[in-house]
């Protein structure tokens, strides 16, 4: 079977809720049934076949062609299967994703991977604010899985992050790793202000010296044996993180945030 391919026929003015179109929800449905699914579009509902041309029938392998920034909730609660998006996506990409793979060949909006539980998300472009964070009012963000962003990310990446791995090849905005509970965030580019603000535990792995507040203690330089093992786990990725030239084990270590538990660590490449 060929992949179920949805090709956009028109770009609407109002935002579209794409949450019904995930592999596990489409399993066992015919193309006719999929075409009749109604998507929320502003105050009205529209059928899938009025927005997309449909080809293929393999619901475990979904492809969205010609996507743009007003398509929200792509991959929400995905539990198995693969979603490939050619184009930009809107807010809440991979929200509460449980398993499977999502690859976006474009940019993502706000709250991508928010409260993600497991699986793999790859974004080739940039991502907006609150990547891998918690929904407003909640206190647990990303809980597992791996997120790779090849571009830059906005503010509050990893806010309230609970577990998992967030890999950023580009720059990260202000408050990266804020209120972090656990997990790993690696940033190859530059980081903004208030890095690790109120983080309790977890690891921030950096290639460039950050601007740290006075609530982080300099613990000196260290050679850490776990880092080569961590980088070895990245070799399967299509990323700069897979390059042996980017791996290191000698770091400058900072502990904090001392205004909280102070058990978090910022490790900066030497």
pLDDT 10s digits, 190-213: 999 999 999 999 999 999 999 999
- Domain regions of the chain by residue span: 107-269
Within 10 angstroms of residue 1's Cβ, the number of other Cβ atoms is 9
> Which of 100, 143, 152 lies closest to 125, judged by CA?
152
Backbone dihedral region for residue 241 (phi beyond 0: left; psi -120 to 50: alpha; all else: beta): alpha
* pLDDT tens-digit map of 215-260: 999 999 999 999 999 999 999 999 999 999 999 999 999 999 999 9
CA distance 180 to 263: 11
Yes or no: say if 73 and 95 are a contact pair by the CB < 8 Å rule.
Answer: yes
* pLDDT tens-digit map of 84-119: 999 999 999 999 999 999 999 999 999 999 999 999
DSSP 3-state percent helix, strand, coil across the chain (nearest 5): 10, 35, 55
CA distance 96 to 6: 23
Instruction: Return phi, psi of residue 174, to 5°.
Output: -65, 155
* pLDDT tens-digit map of 48-73: 999 999 999 999 999 999 999 999 99
**What is the H or E stretch that residue 112 is in?**
none
145 pLDDT more than 90? yes
1 pLDDT more than 90? no
């Amino acid at each position: 079977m060929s992949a179920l391919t949805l090709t956009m026929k028109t770009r609407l003015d109002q935002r579209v809720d794409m949450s019904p179109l995930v592999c596990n929800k489409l399993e066992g449905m015919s193309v006719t049934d999929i075409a009749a699914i109604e998507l929320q579009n502003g105050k009205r509902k529209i059928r899938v076949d009025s927005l997309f041309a449909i080809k293929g029938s393999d619901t475990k392998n979904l492809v969205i062609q010609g996507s743009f920034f007003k398509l929200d909730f792509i991959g929400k609660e995905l539990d198995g299967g693969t979603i490939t998006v050619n184009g930009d996506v809107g807010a809440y990409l991979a929200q509460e994703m449980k398993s499977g793979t999502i690859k976006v060949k474009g940019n993502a909006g706000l709250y991508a991977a928010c409260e993600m539980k497991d699986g793999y998300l790859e974004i080739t472009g940039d991502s907006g604010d609150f990547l891998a964070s918690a929904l407003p009012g909640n206190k647990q963000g990303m809980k597992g899985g791996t997120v790779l962003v090849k571009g830059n990310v906005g503010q509050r990446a990893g806010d309230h992050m609970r577990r998992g791995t967030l890999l950023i090849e580009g720059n990260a905005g202000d408050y990266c790793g804020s209120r972090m509970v656990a997990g790993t965030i690696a940033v190859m580019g530059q980081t903004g202000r208030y890095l690790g603000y109120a983080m309790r535990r977890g690891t921030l792995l950096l290639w460039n010296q950050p601007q740290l507040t006075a609530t982080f203690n300099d613990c000196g330089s260290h050679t850490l044996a776990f880092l080569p093992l961590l980088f070895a786990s990245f070799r399967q990725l299509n990323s700069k993180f897979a390059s042996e030239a980017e791996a290191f084990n000698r770091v400058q270590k900072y502990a904090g945030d001392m205004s909280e538990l102070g058990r978090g660590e910022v490790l900066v490449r030497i």
